[in-house]
Structure 1
Amino acid sequence: MLDVDKKTFEEEVLQAEGTVFVDFYGDGCVPCQALMPTVHELAEKYGDKIKFCALNTSKARRLAISQKVLGLPVMAVYRQGQKVAECVKDDATPENIEKMILKYYQ
């Protein structure tokens, strides 16, 4: 799991080859903290074909807003620099996140 910030997001996510999963989380977000162990497990399970990144939105608010991340938690999948899928707030359950990953795991 690669931690990205406003300096590395473009290179590591938007310009990356293949599929990139991004966990948008915040310092005070309890649901984000609860999902983190699951996301790390999924990164170990599917990290051979999908790049897993995490962005702390508390330290990159403008970047989060530019990616249309307006509430947390948000789990998103990017391909060729475009967001192609996301799980937001109440839909960001371990089951839904894994389903979304499997859709792009090739």
Structure 2
Amino acid sequence: MWITILVLFAGLAQGPARNPRESDPNAIRTGTARFQSSCAECHGIDAKGVFGPDLTTLWTAGSSDDRIFQTVRRGVPGSSMPASRLADDDIWAITVSACDKHLREHRVA
């Protein structure tokens, strides 16, 4: 039993997963294309929301790549946001693309 508890605790202690596409120069292009084909219908081409919420302020609100990845992967129970069937790599790329868009739009002059 103690081994099970230690294994669970070790998993929690690792913290959020790091985005494997974070420094991939192709991730923005790939993520943008996947967003357009899989997410824009609800979140809008500009990610400011249509039926789904505005996604342009996720990082301002304290969200992380891992948290966004998990939301896309699992969906949001009780809402119209379904679990995604995209490959993990594509979800990570969408996260990179969304973060890049956020940084460009909120750049301090």
TM-score normalised to the size of structure 2?
Answer: 0.27
Q: Which has the larger radius of gyration?
A: 2
Q: In proportion to residue count, which structure has more strand?
A: 1
